[in-house]
Structure 1
């Protein structure tokens, strides 16, 4: 009974220390910690409740007009409580895993605010931890021009139509992009790119980087598309060309065959100089 009482008192002591560390922070720094905790808890891979563990560095610089920049590097640490716990006063820190799996998080927060309220935008939030690797990643698909997105969409549609494809894929990066104006608002586009499988199943509707991070244990998909566009629309004639294959199986001979197919398609429709692309 005495041992049980000591354990209970110990749990309350450690959780109290965690709360004290948070409560001793100035309000502006607490708002930054709260923002980081919100980001952590929004990640589907996080299962446990996190608490503020301690500050590493802090700085507060006045920049004039009642505005200042706040920098805060700190640690969050997982507790034994489940994510979503409302009363965290009894949540003990976890120390039962190897160091590389403790999920102690380092975060850097840079924000601008006035004395009345913190500004709307956080300029930088960096969280270290395998499960948070892609939580704030910019989706490279969003950086593509609209017409190139249409070609990627076409490749994804054809890929998802295969019964043997079980995972959801997302655009990873462009390898080559070429386009040629042919007049009357029309042009041909050639796009060689990689798709990468994610942790989500095929058919997932919310495929954002936060919800569907890339997998590192499956091969990339190497794809090429070429098609004609009028304005901001892909033309149905000639039929857009799409070819995708797993990266380990992709060869220079296949690349040459793709280029040859696209050259012939383009040449037959009035733009013979589009693909002056090396096959080496």
Structure 2
């Protein structure tokens, strides 16, 4: 029997009760807050999921994503409701700080035999982490011989797959400084990041609210325009976890609308616009599992 596609056009925007249930699932499993009145946004982002499942009501969808059998769909729902806005060299002042202040001593340390680890948390499709890699490669022509590695994580498996693919639409390279475009290779699908940069980066799916598999600390952490979507308590927990994940003297870069609370309970200090640095105290931890 042929089913008419119009049968699965999907419901209108969720009512307040349905929106609250969806928001509760998203908050519980991803820490993301959906404010009341966002029903139209939820409708537009979940319409494709409901059509794919042949569901015409949110009650059935909510029942699925809250069931033991609904793990995969719950991940798909989180992916659909997660905002992925990124571009190469976004908030360029951070990359200037990297180039002039953060990376030169780290590269010198690597040349002396130490390891350097950099984490892009909430990496989306990889444009942020590859921007970091371009600056690194521009500063260190001997990068391949140094123990410098980059970790890129995101909650969205589709974004992780795109980052691993490392192919970008021609329109996206406009924000890459002209001298750094030598790290791009033209392909039929667009521009691909050069292999010497791709080999530096490990992409992993990670929910920041879950346990982190990395034992080692990082010298630089980028987590920009991610924490802003969490409630205040979840934000504070993540700032504390990021601080604990930094090596002494390590750098933390956050989004333009985000601020890390400083004070007696924090060893972070302001080091620029939405830039923080851990004081040069404490001991470094062991190896990380991801490299």
The structure that is strand-richer by fraction is 1
Q: Same fold (TM over 0.5)?
A: no
Specify which structure has the bigger relative contact order, considering alpha-carbon pairs within 8 angstroms and separated by 6 or more residues. 2
The structure that is helix-richer by fraction is 2
TM-score by length of 2: 0.22
